[in-house]
Amino acid sequence: DAGVTQSPTHLIKTRGQHVTLRCSPISGHKSVSWYQQVLGQGPQFIFQYYEKEERGRGNFPDRFSARQFPNYSSELNVNALLLGDSALYLCASSFNDQGVETQYFGPGTRLLVL
């Protein structure tokens, strides 16, 4: 079975620009989460979507937004990019495994803001 896929793998943007990152979950998974991982740190939660509805939001500014589509794929959008947005953006899809919702991660998108 295919795992979580993300595109693009790498991206270079300049300050003030906008970026869209994409994620396709594992087949059968209805929930998608987004995390930001700054170099040398653990991932920080940004959003979770379930059945196209936002189920959770982390402590990120309104410049960050996301949505989930009917096929459960998801997009993360970041407006007005700042240098500090440079990070690895991870997508995870999840399903209920023996009563425990377990998250499985994609390879990430490396974003560099210049």
Residue ranges in contact with another protein by CB under 8 A: 31, 33, 35, 40-45, 48, 50, 55-56, 58, 88, 90, 92, 100-108
Of 61, 63, 81, 69, nearest in space to 22 by CA: 69
In terms of CB distance, is 13 or 107 closer to another protein? 107
Q: How far is the CB of 22 from another protein (least distance, A)?
A: 17
Q: How many Cβ atoms are within 10 Å of 13's Cβ, its own excluded?
A: 16
Residue nearer to another protein on the CB measure, 12 or 80:
12
42 phi and psi, to 5 degrees?
-80, 160
Q: How far is the CB of 16 from another protein (least distance, A)?
A: 27
Four-point Cα dihedral 46, 63, 17, 22, nearest 10: 40
Please give the Cα distance from 47 to 24 (Å, whole number): 15
* Spatial contact of 4 and 69, defined as CB atoms under 8 Å apart: no
What is the closest distance, in whole angstroms, from the C-beta atom of residue 102 to another protein in the complex? Answer: 6
Of the pair 31, 68, the CB lying nearest another protein is at 31
> Closest approach of Cβ 73 to another protein, in Å?
18
